[in-house]
Structure 1
Amino acid sequence: MVNNENTEIKIIEAAKEVFVHKGYDGARMQEIADKAEINKALLHYYFRSKTKLFEKVFNNIFKEIVTGVAASIENSKNIEELIENFVNVYFEELKKKPYIPQFVLHEINRNPEMIVDLIKSNGVDKQKFIGVILKEGNRKDLRPFNPIQILVNVLSMTIFPFVASGIIKGFIFDGDEDAFDTFINERKSHIVEFVQVAIFKK
């Protein structure tokens, strides 16, 4: 039993490395088997197709982020907490795993239906995000705004620095790693402040 579990873990870790660097289309089962140090027949015993293995890997990667994000929405009692919790959790997860946005975006373009199904199956519900906002819709200190626009803005502002890290680091900061790291560390509070200015009256 232990050996079976260890073998499956080795396969998933090897597949994760290959899929992240080469995407679904570029990945080969033989390369994954080689990285896992097993033969291809054993790989197919555990995962009968590349699609099944990819879904397992993607689901594992996605869970690393969305579990915390879903909890941040659940635990938010008002708009202030919602924005701050959502940005903080999402941003910290991406800092730990900066490869995820590029990987996810590539696969969204390849198979959007599968990605949407995985998002929903991992407990992410846009209605809960919107619900917190609508619940406070009568607050006099709020500007009129569309909750979907706010959600998309937060996602865009959070994800883009990681997707475009090479351009930002090379062009804006002339390759200075320390300056880029400082920018990333400051980015979280900037996003929260930016959204607050957009939705709250002065």
Structure 2
Amino acid sequence: MLEAAKRIFQAKGMDGARMQEIANEAGINKAMLHYYYRSKQLLFEAVFKNAFSLLAPQLNTILNDDSSIEDKVRNFCSNYISFIIKHPYLPNFIIQELNRNPDFLLKMKNNPGFPTTEKFKKQVALEIDKGIIKPINGEQLFINIMALNVFPFVAKPLIQTLIGVEDEEFEKIVEERKTSAADFIINSIKI
């Protein structure tokens, strides 16, 4: 049921999806769908929570493990890009729905395992104090890491058109970003 709903929500968004269409995609009747999920909003929230729960561990790793900032950047770029190659719908789906309903994320923030930036910011400050990295605001570094990894997937049609590549070449470029994005970030902060 959730897989069918994910496909429909991904294709049509929350507002464009219809419960009957989701039931048809799942191969069940609409009454059964309503039995498990009393409304389209509750079904959507279940799909969104599932999608975000796939991404949250990636964010938690970069923010809360004990590796160096350089290792965090390298691991995040490689792991995130590999993950999104397997789940290409995720970035657009999450961004589209957060723009539609920003308060939804506030509800999720109270769930265990929701990523926080406190440890990451402290580690950035510590590595600055030790002379390992250049002075940079921890939030800005985190935003840079996210932006350089998320944007190519969110803007795939734009990027493909601007640089003149088809899907196969774009996939190669994205694969290269595992190291090129990490190198770019590290070189920008390394002393």
Query: 1:158, 1:191 within 8 Å by CA — same for their partners in 2?
Result: yes
Q: Which residue pairs with 2:180 in the alignment? A: 190
Residues 90, 76 of structure 1: CA spacing in aligned structure 2 closer, same or farther, 3 A cutoff? farther
Query: 1:78, 1:133 within 8 Å by CA — same for their partners in 2?
Result: no
Question: Residue 170 in 1 paired to residue 186 in 2?
Answer: no
| Separation (CA, whole Å) in 2 of partners of 1:120 and 1:180 | 37
The offset of 1:54, in angstroms, is: 0.7
Question: Residue 158 in 1 paired to residue 149 in 2?
Answer: yes
Question: Residue 128 in 1 paired to residue 148 in 2?
Answer: no
Partner residue of 2:95 out of 86, 105, 108: 105
Taking structure 1 as the reference length, what is the TM-score of the superposition? 0.86
Taking structure 2 as the reference length, what is the TM-score of the superposition? 0.91
Partner residue of 2:41 out of 34, 46, 51: 51
| Separation (CA, whole Å) in 2 of partners of 1:42 and 1:141 | 58
Partner residue of 1:82 out of 66, 69, 72: 72
After superposing the two structures, state which structure 1 stretch, 137-146 or 38-47, moved more: 137-146
> SS where residue 136 of structure 1 aligns?
helix
Instruction: Choose between structure 1 and 2 for higher RCO, CA contacts under 8 A separated by at least 6 residues.
Output: 2
The offset of 1:50, in angstroms, is: 0.9
The offset of 1:29, in angstroms, is: 0.7
Instruction: Give the total of aligned pairs.
Output: 190
Partner residue of 2:138 out of 138, 147, 162: 147
The offset of 1:191, in angstroms, is: 1.2
Q: CA RMSD, aligned part only?
A: 1.7
Q: Which residue pairs with 2:24 in the alignment? A: 34
The offset of 1:134, in angstroms, is: 2.5
Runs of 5+ in structure 2 lacking a partner? none
Runs of 5+ in structure 1 lacking a partner? 1-10
Partner residue of 2:3 out of 6, 10, 13: 13
The offset of 1:88, in angstroms, is: 2.1
Q: Which residue pairs with 1:7 in the alignment? A: none
Identity %: 37
Query: 1:61, 1:100 within 8 Å by CA — same for their partners in 2?
Result: yes
Query: 2:121, 2:139 within 8 Å by CA — same for their partners in 1?
Result: yes
